[in-house]
Every structure is written in structure tokens, then in C-alpha cells.
């Protein structure tokens, strides 16, 4: 996490401690959706995930003047949501295989929370990478992976051969892999844990 982000978080936390509601709104808006997704990875229950994250933000506001956050705000929120999600699983006494697997999985360490990629961060980096590769490669990739069109449909729509589509998508994948290389290991670890 960059020094700039950490400094910005410290400013927000300072304002929060001084009852600044706008600082709370900024924090809530920035992290809410990602934390709900993160909690859902444990609970597999949308309503429960939303409730957990809302409780975490409520506690953040209630304890704003006394709280001590030693690491980054993001790490603090991820860790708190993780702990409450696991507690929720234990509380409901879910006995299915998935819950057992999650409960047996070691908790994220402080270092892991620093390295955890939030969905919005990954999306922003992906969008940036897509803008950097040639348009025709990005276009073929989007049609294939995002619009789920097959190669024949893409070829017809772009008025090119199927082979051209294959080459463009292959080149797009290679370029994206290069652009996102710093994120790939963490992304693969994340997908391995949640799938």
C-alpha cells in the first residue's frame, strides 16, 4: 500500500475521531461494496454479508474517538469483517462442507490483509491494462470473455477470420498477463481460496 494512501487514511481517521461525518461517508463509500464481497466469500449469504459489514461500520462510528488502528484502515476493516464472518458461521452452526473448510482455513495475517486485493482495485488495474493494449486486441478479448461470444460470432461481427480472432485474443492475453503480472500471484491465491 502506497504512502500516499496510508497518509490519506490517517487524515480520514483523524477527522473521524473529531466527529466528522463526511470522513465516515468517504470511508463507507470507498470500502462498503468490497467488504460485502469479502464477507460473502466466507458466509455465501448476501444478507448476512451486508449485515456484518453494516455492523462493522456501526462499531467504527460508535468507537471513533477511542479506537486504535495500528496498521492501515483497510487492513483493520478486512480483519474485522473476516473475524465477524467466521463468528457468524460458527454462530449459525453451519455444518456443510464449505463452512468446515473456511473455519479450518488459517485466518489472514496482518501481512495478508495488506496484500489482499480488493475487487475495485483489481478492476481499476484491469481497466487500465485494457486501455494500454491495442484496441483490436482489447475489443476481441471483451467480446470473448465479457460478452461471452464465441470466436465464430466475433469473427462475423468484426468481419475478420476466426484465425484472426484467435490471434487477437491470444495477443490480448499475453499483453494483459504482462501488464497485470504484479497482481497475478495474489489473484490466483484469492481464486484458489474462494473456489
> Any residues with CB less than 8 A from the CB of 176 and at least 6 apart, and which?
126, 129, 130, 133, 141
Q: Which of 94, 99, 113, 116 is nearest to 186 (CA)?
A: 116
Residue 154 neighbours by CB under 8 Å, 6+ apart? 140, 143, 144, 165
Q: Do residues 128 and 98 both lie within one domain?
A: no
Give me the number of domains the chain comprises.
2
Domain closes at, from 116, 139, 168: 116
Q: Of 101, 116, 131, which closes a domain?
A: 116
Same-domain check for residues 54 and 8: yes
pLDDT digits (tens, 9 = 90+) for 80-96: 999 898 888 776 554 44
pLDDT above 80: residue 193: no
The domain that holds 186 is classified in CATH as 1.10.10.10
Range of the domain at 135: 120-194
Q: Are residues 23 and 79 in the same domain?
A: yes
**What is the mean pLDDT of the segment spanning 155-160?**
93
Amino acid at each position: 500500500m502506497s504512502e500516499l494512501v496510508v497518509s490519506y487514511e490517517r487524515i480520514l481517521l483523524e477527522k473521524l475521531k473529531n466527529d466528522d461525518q463526511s470522513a465516515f461517508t468517504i470511508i463507507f463509500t470507498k470500502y462498503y461494496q468490497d467488504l460485502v464481497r469479502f464477507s460473502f466469500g466466507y458466509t455465501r449469504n448476501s444478507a448476512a454479508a451486508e449485515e456484518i459489514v453494516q455492523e462493522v461500520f456501526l462499531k467504527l462510528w460508535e468507537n471513533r474517538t477511542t479506537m486504535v488502528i495500528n496498521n492501515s484502515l483497510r487492513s483493520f476493516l478486512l480483519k474485522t469483517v473476516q473475524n465477524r464472518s467466521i463468528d457468524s458461521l460458527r454462530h449459525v452452526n453451519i455444518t456443510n462442507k464449505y463452512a468446515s473448510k473456511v473455519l479450518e482455513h488459517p485466518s489472514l495475517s496482518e501481512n495478508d490483509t495488506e496484500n489482499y486485493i480488493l475487487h475495485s482495485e483489481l478492476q481499476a488495474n484491469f481497466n487500465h491494462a485494457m486501455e494500454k493494449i491495442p484496441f483490436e486486441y482489447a475489443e476481441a478479448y471483451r467480446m470473448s470473455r465479457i460478452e461471452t461470444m464465441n470466436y465464430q460470432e466475433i469473427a462475423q461481427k468484426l468481419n475478420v477470420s476466426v484465425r484472426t480472432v484467435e490471434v487477437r485474443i491470444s495477443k490480448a492475453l499475453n499483453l494483459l498477463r504482462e501488464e497485470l503480472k504484479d497482481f497475478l500471484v495474489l489473484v490466483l491465491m484469492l481464486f484458489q481460496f474462494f473456489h
